[in-house]
Structure 1
Amino acid sequence: MKTILITGASSGIGRATAELFLDKGWQVGLLARRRDALEDVAQGHDGAVILPADVTDPDATARAFDSFAAKAGRLDVLFNNAGMFGPSAPPDEVTVEDFDAVMAVNLRGMFIAARLAFAQMRAQVPQGGRIVNNGSISAHSPRPGSICYTTTKHAVTGLTKSLSLDGRPFDIACGQLDIGNARTELVQALVDKARQDDPDASGPPTMDVTHAARAVLHMAELPAEANVQFMTVTATQMPFIGRG
């Protein structure tokens, strides 16, 4: 049975991805802070392993990874997904504390999970595995008022490239999935805010979150000899290319 550990598995893209992999027969490590939400995702699936932990806590996250490796035997894929948007405001209205909080989850937490996965994949026999980092189209083109989120997602691209390079000697592949406007709680909050600002606005174009989950599955199912380095999946009508 193939194995994957998913951070931020309790909601949004992480939950949709976890449900898809479980339906496909994978053994899935569900890592997030809320045990009750993870239990809801795991319900009815023998392959689910509940791993309550905060990715900003290196010790708790290490215990979760060790627990999954002990139960599953190995780690084939990490979907490095946990993240938060943070305040939507001009830079001078964003506090340093708010900036640090987003950095802690979106970048520091992603590094913590990546280094633990890398160590497991390097040590296991046969050696190797795959890390899929959840980037964003904000890694290329920011939304207004998104300085915290956009900064971290640009940094994730550097993390992805470094992991790809450093993983080659150990058959550890790394790719990045840049998602635009999948219908999650986070995107819905942005839609709701836009409608508050302009009640007549129709809201931004969105796509079903399962399309993002299927993209992760495609990357995860590739043979070791192949890797999707960067993939972008967006709502067709969203203003990403051109002036919009």
Structure 2
Amino acid sequence: MVTGAGSGIGRASAIALGEAGFAVALMGRREDRLAPVAEVIGERVTVVVADVADERQVARGFERVFERFGRLDLLFNNAGTSSPAVPIDELSLSQWQAVVDTNLTGSFLCAREAFRLMKTQSPMGGRIINNGSISAHVPRLYSVPYTATKHAITGLTKALSLEGRAFDIACGQIDIGNAESEMTERTKLGMLQPNGELATEPVIDVAHIAKAVVYMASLPLDANVQFMTVMATKMPYIGRG
């Protein structure tokens, strides 16, 4: 299962997983974005139109996957969103809540359903990969909701990793910096730096992220990439301050 599979990192990862031999379930809110991805993958694919922030839709989506494939071996918790880059005192509660609902609550809901399947299927177990972002470590200016949720994802990853041990459920996190996608279009125009200046930032092909996800996903369950950072080499991340 790949969430946010209709574009960017989710799309590239879903296709790469299909090429690696996985049967793939594509979850997203828009069928018109998921259908072209399914066509690329081929027969061993199913489309799940669902909002990760909606408990009932998520539950139905995982039920559909189990009905189609009989088990769940991998969840890539990838779906995410951000808020306008404005000071905290200009953020509305609804803007905050929208980011929390998708990035954090959505990851929780999907992980919960994955655990329910992985604990009871035979053979037992599976793997969860959470999309953290380098914002799980270092914030950008004017990114309170996004940064807070990505820091929380790190806590979720650690807690799931600990809880999953007894059930052969491995959980790891990939922290991504400036992979070229719809969310990083503005990096080419200029990103606000800590000193208040605007600067263009380098980006990397999303295919590199997809390869990293496939590597993490392909390990046997007695091995785990707990945390992996994949980023543009020259982006202004290391050495900030």
TM-score by length of 2: 0.94
Q: Deviations over 1:63-94 (max 9, x none)?
A: 11110111111111100000001121111111
1:104 aligns to 2:101 (yes or no): yes
Tell me what 2:61 maps to: 64
Cα distance between partner residues in 1 of 2:125 and 2:218: 14
Match for 1:80 among 52, 61, 77?
77
Cα distance between partner residues in 2 of 1:194 and 1:132: 28
Do the aligned partners of 2:190 and 2:200 also contact (CA within 8 Å) in 1? Answer: no
Tell me what 1:90 maps to: 87
Do the aligned partners of 2:173 and 2:227 also contact (CA within 8 Å) in 1? Answer: yes
Do the aligned partners of 1:87 and 1:148 also contact (CA within 8 Å) in 2? Answer: no
Match for 2:21 among 12, 19, 25?
25
Percent sequence identity over aligned pairs: 53
1:43 aligns to 2:39 (yes or no): yes
State the SS of the aligned residue for 1:232: strand
Tell me what 1:118 maps to: 115
1:186 aligns to 2:183 (yes or no): yes
Q: Deviations over 1:90-133 (max 9, x none)?
A: 11111111001100000001100000001100010010000000
Question: How far did residue 190 of structure 1 move?
Answer: 4.2
Tell me what 1:6 maps to: 2
State the SS of the aligned residue for 2:62: helix
1:208 aligns to 2:205 (yes or no): yes
Q: Deviations over 1:183-238 (max 9, x none)?
A: 0100113433649xxxxx77201100111111110100001110000000000001
Tell me what 1:138 maps to: 135
Q: Deviations over 1:137-193 (max 9, x none)?
A: 000001111111000000000000000000000000100000000001001134336
Amino acid at match of 1:214: K
Cα distance between partner residues in 2 of 1:143 and 1:88: 9
Unaligned runs of 5+ in 2: 193-197
State the SS of the aligned residue for 2:2: strand
Distance 1:190 1:98, change over 3 A: farther
TM-score by length of 1: 0.93
Amino acid at match of 2:200: G
1:159-198 aligned within 5 A: 159-192=156-189, 194=191
Do the aligned partners of 1:178 and 1:230 also contact (CA within 8 Å) in 2? Answer: yes
**Cα-Cα RMSD:** 1.6
Do the aligned partners of 2:100 and 2:145 also contact (CA within 8 Å) in 1? Answer: yes
Do the aligned partners of 2:190 and 2:199 also contact (CA within 8 Å) in 1? Answer: no
Do the aligned partners of 1:77 and 1:220 also contact (CA within 8 Å) in 2? Answer: yes
Cα distance between partner residues in 2 of 1:177 and 1:211: 12
Amino acid at match of 1:213: A
Cα distance between partner residues in 2 of 1:77 and 1:145: 33
Runs in 1 of length 4+ with deviation above 6 angstroms? Answer: none
Do the aligned partners of 1:79 and 1:131 also contact (CA within 8 Å) in 2? Answer: yes
Q: Deviations over 1:24-82 (max 9, x none)?
A: 22100000000111101111411111000000111111111110111111111100000
State the SS of the aligned residue for 1:237: coil
1:150 aligns to 2:147 (yes or no): yes
